[in-house]
Amino acid sequence: MSEHPPSDEIYLDNHATTAVDPRVIDAMLPLMRSEYANAGSITHEPGRRIAAKIQECKEQMLGLLGASGGQLVLTSGATESINLALFGVALHPRQKRRRILVGKLEHRAVLDCAKKLARQGFLVQSLEAITHDNSVQVDQADQAVSERPFRIGRIDIDTLAEALDDEVCLVSILLGNNEIGTLQDMRPVADLCRARGAILHLDATQAVGKVPLGELSLQADLVSFSAHKFYGPKGVGGLLMTDPDLMLTPQIVGGGQQNNLRSGTLNTSGIVGMARALAIASESLESEMPRIYALRDRLWQKLRTSIPGLRLNGPAWNKDFPTDPKDLYGLPGNLNVQFPGVDGQSLMLKVPGLAVSSGSACTAAEPHPSHVLTGIGLSQDQARCSLRFGIGRFNTSEQIDQAAKKLAWAYSQLIQFVA
């Protein structure tokens, strides 16, 4: 494997994973070269040095996540964090409540934990999302567009209010859908959960480092994330507990590390890399968000002028980047579109140098159309004709233009064979 990818390759799959930022690699290398002691080896100086460094990283990350008074459990990534959140809350010996609510458009990591809990006797209810309204032509230049297309994929608050009762122990909601980019409006969700005494878990895997979290994370009890989604290394992530005393049943037992919440030797280089990646993301957010937002708009505009009938899946956006990021409806770098009459997989095969996706990375190998796309009201055929683009920090406008050109050419070739 060569150090550099082929020069004509264009990577637009930044929801699946991101390149590690070179500044992050620089921060990690000393941890492998010289400061390699075990953070648990506090009987000697090298061990104490690394233990102090990890503590410093944790405090830095808690601050950047807007939750300085909280606790951060370091994990191998969002999947593990989600397992700890869902099983940790539901299976705690003092847990008396037996109902769990999860969004219908959640990532498989959440859905499969919920399914397993259902097999163990919990009553799991799936919360409907606001669906596609096919009667509205989505056009962000059209200021008269209805409110609905901006909210596609959000949990319907009335449905949540109806479903919540004093039996619900846990509500798990996605902030930043990994396929259609929808950002949930967290405050009403959090207010409802608090009023009913239910623990709120936020899967913020796609949102951390991409949109300002600040007090957003404070609205949830538990927040899951993975470093490799924000230009950090793979295999490291975190579960933020905004209340450090929340009771969770550990899912990995052993050496008793991390207050017994997650045993196992800490991935020190990964943790240092994750902290650096989060710091870089926080510093660059203000300039990066509008730049990526504009690239996404550029791709959409180029595609729709060359492909008749192209449709947007997911929330619409306003042409200009909102002055208040709270008014963002979707992840700035997400674009999910339907190519009328042409299967997404065939399109991808026709442009082999373009790295995009027809679903989430974890389910990309599955033959079934995406549950997210069908969950917002698309037919199975419409879902199969869709592709997801994830635009990130290292993409350029030249790459966007090239990608649009290649796709328009591939589409024109394939559509000829459609009756």
Ligand X SMILES: Cc1ncc(COP(=O)(O)O)c(C=O)c1O
b vs e for 257-293, b when ≥16 Cβ sit within 10 Å of the residue's Cβ?
A: bbeebbebebbbbbbbbbbbbbbbbbeebeebbebbb
Region of 200-208, 295-303, 323-331, 371-379 interacting with ligand X (CB under 6 A): 200-208
Give the residue from 125, 62, 45, 82 showing the smallest Cα distance to 271.
Answer: 62
Q: Is 362 a catalytic residue?
A: yes
Q: Does 178 bind ligand X (CB under 6 A)?
A: yes
Q: Does 78 bind ligand X (CB under 6 A)?
A: yes
Query: Smallest distance from the beta carbon of 175 to ligand X, in angstroms?
Result: 9
Query: Residue 303 or 330: which CB sits closer to ligand X?
Result: 330
Q: Does 107 bind ligand X (CB under 6 A)?
A: yes
Do residues 75 and 81 make contact, with C-beta atoms less than 8 angstroms apart?
Answer: yes
Angle, alpha carbons 32-4-364 (nearest 5°): 90
Query: Residue 109 or 347: which CB sits closer to ligand X?
Result: 109
Query: Smallest distance from the beta carbon of 34 to ligand X, in angstroms?
Result: 28
Query: Smallest distance from the beta carbon of 83 to ligand X, in angstroms?
Result: 9
Place of tokens 């990994």: 178
Angle between helices 268-306 and 45-64 (to 10 degrees): 30
Residue from 77, 181, 314, 344 that binds ligand X (CB under 6 A)?
77
Q: How far apart are the first and last CA of the chain?
A: 42
DSSP state of 198: -
Query: Smallest distance from the beta carbon of 391 to ligand X, in angstroms?
Result: 15
Q: Does 19 bind ligand X (CB under 6 A)?
A: no
Q: Does 242 bind ligand X (CB under 6 A)?
A: no
Query: Residue 235 or 341: which CB sits closer to ligand X?
Result: 235
Query: Residue 37 or 274: which CB sits closer to ligand X?
Result: 274
Query: Residue 50 or 183: which CB sits closer to ligand X?
Result: 183
SS3 315: coil
Q: Does 79 bind ligand X (CB under 6 A)?
A: yes
The β-bridge partners of 259 are none
Task: Give the number of other CB atoms < 10 A from CB of residue 59.
Answer: 13
- What Rg, from alpha-carbon coordinates, does the chain have? 22
Residue from 31, 73, 74, 109 that binds ligand X (CB under 6 A)?
109
Region of 202-210, 211-219, 267-275, 384-392 interacting with ligand X (CB under 6 A): 202-210
SS3 285: helix
Q: Does 360 bind ligand X (CB under 6 A)?
A: yes
Could you tell me the two tokens for 75?
């994990």
Residue 390 φ then ψ, to 5°: -125, 110
Q: Does 203 bind ligand X (CB under 6 A)?
A: yes
d(CA 172, CA 36): 37
- Type of residue numbered 121: G
Q: Does 205 bind ligand X (CB under 6 A)?
A: yes
Query: Residue 91 or 361: which CB sits closer to ligand X?
Result: 361
Query: Residue 285 or 362: which CB sits closer to ligand X?
Result: 362
d(CA 264, CA 251): 11
Region of 85-93, 191-199, 271-279, 354-362 interacting with ligand X (CB under 6 A): 354-362
What is the helix (H) or strand (E) element at residue 240, kind and residue range?
Answer: strand 237-241
Query: Smallest distance from the beta carbon of 108 to ligand X, in angstroms?
Result: 8
Residue from 25, 361, 364, 414 that binds ligand X (CB under 6 A)?
361
Query: Smallest distance from the beta carbon of 225 to ligand X, in angstroms?
Result: 9
Query: Smallest distance from the beta carbon of 390 to ligand X, in angstroms?
Result: 10
Give the residue from 305, 289, 293 showing the smallest Cα distance to 404.
Answer: 305
Query: Smallest distance from the beta carbon of 240 to ligand X, in angstroms?
Result: 14
Q: Does 62 bind ligand X (CB under 6 A)?
A: no
Q: Which of 57, 113, 193, 362 is catalytic?
A: 362
Query: Residue 178 or 258: which CB sits closer to ligand X?
Result: 178
Strand order in the sheet with 237-241: 71-75, 237-241, 222-226, 199-203, 168-174, 99-103, 123-127
Give the residue from 360, 392, 367, 368 showing the smallest Cα distance to 109.
Answer: 360
Residue from 14, 172, 206, 338 that binds ligand X (CB under 6 A)?
206
Which spans of this chain sit near ligand X (rule: CB under 6 A)?
77-79, 107, 109, 174, 178, 203, 205-206, 226, 228, 360-362
Residues recognised as catalytic: 362
